[in-house]
Structure 1
Amino acid sequence: MHSPIYETFHGWFKKIKDIINKRLNFDRRMALHITSLNSGSNGNCYYIGNSSEAVLIDAGISCRETEKRMKRLGLAMSVVKAIFVTHEHSDHITGISVLSKKHSLPVYITDATMRASRISVLPSLLHTFAAGATISIGNLQVTAFKKYHDASDPHSFMVSDGQVNIGIITDIGHACKEVVNCFTQCHAVFLESNYCDDMLANSDYPWHLKRRISSDHGHLSNAAALELFRNYRSKQLSHLILSHLSKNNNKPELVHELFSAHADGTKIVVASRYEESELFFVDGKEVAGNEMVQVKWNAKKQAKNNSQLTLF
């Protein structure tokens, strides 16, 4: 038997707790939910959605592993409404055929990438897109933009609900104008930070492979990713998820330390190549400590980058 004072305070506490929980649940309903299900040369798959619909960007791990990792995060496959494909490399497409068939998921892919990938997708579930296209998936809008990578027709994506923008920017040789334009608009970004320059230079990789990785149509180095982050992040960039780290030429702790030194309020996360990340809720609120930092686009440097592409 509790005293009247205890009962009074207990009642107040319960009401306050209910109010807080309702507010948290409301905020989460208004936010976009994001996670990396896997990120690396062994498989890439990124989840972006709201409380009623979601999309997968790439499906480079098996259907079973995708389902298992989503379940651990409390995510239902029934919420996923489509798969978007960045390019045809196996670490981005391995699970697409089975996932699409089993769950009747539409696959959005360019014609050139489809031809190069040779994946099996039911004609009724196959949809093609072109650069600059915005595809509506329920209340989500997915915008495709070209990037530089050694694939037939590579694209990156920005997923938006009209209030919150999420960028998926991996497998890029350099930060071209389209990448910068996306980055400056985002509240959260999956950004490639593939290799450490010194580790790659001193690795036992053959010269041609080192050249391919570090070329303008290869992968983005830690230094280049950090430059993009420092020069073009916006006040609302709440989450930076460093992605597609090399197993042999990078270290997660190195990347985390490097970017954390310049975080200024942005949450720094390093995506794993072995397991799913935490599920993050991005609400689009301005981040305390962040300043709008935008360096004027260097057209001369871009022209040089474009000309170098013709060498490969």
Structure 2
Amino acid sequence: MTDDASTDTEADAARPDGGYASGHELVADGGERRSLRQVVTVAHTEYRLAMRSRWALALAGLFVLFGSMLATFSGSAVGPEGMERVVASLTSLAVYLVPLAALAFGYDAVVGRDEEGWLEVVFSLPVSRARVVVGTYLGRLAVLAGATVLGFGFVGFLLLREFGVTYWASFLAFLGGAVAVGAAFLALSLLVSTVAREKTHALGLALLVWVWFVLVHDLLALGVVAAFDLPGTVLTGFVLANPASVFRVLVLGQLGTTAGSGFTAALATTSLSTGLLVASLVAWCVVPVAAAAVLVRRRRV
């Protein structure tokens, strides 16, 4: 496909009625290059639609508001202790806020398009349903990641002025973890949106996902840890079974502190390596999207 055709594809993907690129543009290229172009076209469309709906601005504003308030009212000690205290507080905030924002942003990714009639049009084109799902995820991920970086990046600027660059590595670890946990919960929301038949059902399932991973899982794990003398492998399993727990342990491990309480404090001292935690978050992103790409083939539109 020529550069002019590529430009036409992007222009069509961004046309005012929000439709996807034409079938001719999606199949004009061959092999892997065509597959990649299809995914990119769908991702570009989702990105433009999300930006047009002001989702990015709303998410960034939310992160700026809560992050700035927390950074302002956290401890004012100068040095690594003060920085660690602020980053630990931001982690406690982000573990509730970022998954909720990701689930709210992604729960209608498939079922919403279905109710609007877009899936019927898109699936009638010679483009794989799996590529539509992957492109939808990547487009929304770009918006969510950008909003997370901009929102919490503003908080990082405040911390840079307060503590200087010497202790900023801990904040960068937090920022990367926040983007990763957001990506994981966005993948879960995409899976929920794929299996749900109505938007209301998808919203309810998304809320249940948030309640389980952010609230119930750690409470149950804390009860088990307190009641039994468990080996380290069981604790490792508890952590890896929850992307929110992986995020907290990853950031607190980089801080070199056991800041936190309950299950988080117990897990902060485990011997989980950074590589294993990062690989776990990557798996929490890939597996739900792959499952959604398979299940969408059975969806009736």
Taking structure 1 as the reference length, the TM-score comes to 0.25
Answer 1 or 2: which has greater strand percent.
1
Higher normalized helix content (fraction of residues): 2
